[in-house]
Amino acid sequence: MAEKFKFTPSAPSSLQEQYDVVIIGSGGAGLVSALQARELGLRPVILEKMPTVGGNTMRASSGMNAAETNIQLREGIVDSFAEFYQETYQGGGRLNDPELLNYFTTHSGQAIDWLRSHGIILNDLTITGGMKKKRAHRPKSTAPIGAFLVNNLLWLLDQIKVPIFTQTTVTELLKDDAGKIRGVNVQVAGEHKTIFAPAVILATGGFGASKQLLKRYRPDLLAYKTTNQVGATGDGIILAEHIGAQVLQMEMIQIHPTVQQDTPHTYLIGEAVRGEGAILVDQQGVRFTNELGTRKIVSEQITALPEQAAYLIFDYGVKERVKAIDFYASKGLVVSAATPSELAKKLQLDPTVLADTLLQWNTAVETKKDVKFGRTTGMQRKLEKAPYYAIHVAPAIHYTMGGLHINEKAQVLDQAGNIIAGLFAAGEVTGGLHGNNRIGGNSIAETVVFGRQAGQQAAVYLA
């Protein structure tokens, strides 16, 4: 079964010269598109440049947003595609591409069902910043969504023998004289090779780890750390630009508000921690924002503090609802204490101030009214169950909203807005869906919705 499965990459010697579809990248978008393409009768191959698979998807924690699902109804949540659309549109500064957003929201519920039909069951719900309803679907165990999804997809792909090559970097996209895609050039074990395929799916992720692209588009962000894996260097964007593809909204880069960065490694502290009830306090021990505002706003509020960092404060009740907290604790990121006053002392906060903050917050939860900041979500439980916990957080570069211009069929468009025949893209490599701020839980949903679409449209193209 998937839980016990250990992924092994395909042997380099088995790399063939010809496939129906080359999929570049082994994150959520690449794995989903491969599964969909194979099930529609194509012969796909996945090429991954890193030694490990899963990309940034592997690091996703909170969940997969979707509306009108049976899982929601079972919890008494009557949701609609229209509300999901509107809240994402508002959260994205109304800069989202309406065609993509419409396709995305109206196919989200089906994506949950599709995963379920493959044994990938996301039947617990949480909420992320900027959403009014619980839409973030996650496994019953409350385990982080990314690794759960990737491991299950790898197992499924292994069952149907879809080859996945690691340490294989795509260096060029090839077109024929008529302008149609005909394959890719790769570098593998120091050698250059050409792989022919009439369709290519770019699933290469974003550029949150590329100093070069940051310098070009957002030099003001160069000092920030990043939550991204080192391979998130925007290769797909550069490869496609070389053959005339159009990019958009490249300067729209998301800073995630809650990243632990006191160790050499950065750890993103998932939004589910706030979604399940955590609050943020400053160095005085006082709340300063609606913790479940959009990432953009919460990041700005933290950056505006003199210390440009904050503490996430929560209790055992929250910890019980977010499995990832055990992982954060195992990395030494969580300060714990038997009482709020002991916690305050450990954080060098004034214990009476922190006690007062908690008292006010618990009153807000009880009366369902956050007089100070108007928070309305993530208020299911008071912070009152010992032990108490804190994580020191600050904003870091997290997600690149901009990227390749695609249409709702996941076809990549050129500078003039025409389709580049045979070239598809899905996931973070694309731009437009999220506007100027991605909502938590929407990137995993994007990889599944548009990964499926890219696989389907490649099949239509090759029929």
Residues that bind ligand ADP (CB under 6 A): 24-30, 47-50, 55-57, 169-170, 203-205, 231-232, 235-236, 427-429, 447
Provide the minimum distance between the beta carbon of 166 and ligand ADP in the complex, in angstroms, as a whole number: 9
According to the 3-state scheme, what is the secondary structure of 76-132?
CCCCCHHHHHHHHHHHCCCCCCHHHHHHHHHCHHHHHHHHHHCCCCCCEEECCCCCC
Q: Are strands 168-175 and 253-260 parallel, antiparallel or unpaired?
A: unpaired
Chain Cα centroid distance, residue 137: 13
Provide the minimum distance between the beta carbon of 8 and ligand ADP in the complex, in angstroms, as a whole number: 17
| Residue 241 DSSP SS3 | helix
* Choice between 57 and 453, CB closer to ligand ADP: 57
Provide the minimum distance between the beta carbon of 286 and ligand ADP in the complex, in angstroms, as a whole number: 36
Which residues are paired to 185 by β-bridges?
A: 172, 194
* Choice between 395 and 427, CB closer to ligand ADP: 427
* Torsion region of 249: left, alpha or beta (phi above 0 gives left; psi -120 to 50 gives alpha): left
Phi first, then psi: give them for residue 65, nearest 5 degrees.
Answer: -75, 140
* Choice between 293 and 402, CB closer to ligand ADP: 402
Phi first, then psi: give them for residue 184, nearest 5 degrees.
Answer: -140, 155
| Residue 133 DSSP SS3 | coil
Provide the minimum distance between the beta carbon of 158 and ligand ADP in the complex, in angstroms, as a whole number: 17
C-alpha distances in Å from residue 268, one per residue of 59, 239, 351: 8, 29, 27
Tell me, what DSSP letter sits at residue 18? B
The answer to whether 447 and 426 are in contact (CB under 8 A) is yes
Provide the minimum distance between the beta carbon of 167 and ligand ADP in the complex, in angstroms, as a whole number: 9
Tell me the residue number closest to ligand ADP, measured at CB.
27
* Choice between 55 and 422, CB closer to ligand ADP: 55
43 part of the active site: no
The answer to whether 24 and 170 are in contact (CB under 8 A) is yes
The answer to whether 294 and 441 are in contact (CB under 8 A) is no
* Choice between 24 and 115, CB closer to ligand ADP: 24
Between CA 298 and CA 385 the distance in angstroms is 26
Which residues are paired to 202 by β-bridges?
A: 24, 425
From first CA to last CA, the distance across the chain in angstroms is: 33
* Choice between 47 and 279, CB closer to ligand ADP: 47
Of residues 287, 295, 438, 452, which has the active-site annotation? 295
* Choice between 9 and 351, CB closer to ligand ADP: 9
| Residue 397 DSSP SS3 | strand
Phi first, then psi: give them for residue 319, nearest 5 degrees.
Answer: -55, -40
Provide the minimum distance between the beta carbon of 372 and ligand ADP in the complex, in angstroms, as a whole number: 36
Provide the minimum distance between the beta carbon of 55 and ligand ADP in the complex, in angstroms, as a whole number: 2
Which residues have a catalytic role annotated?
295
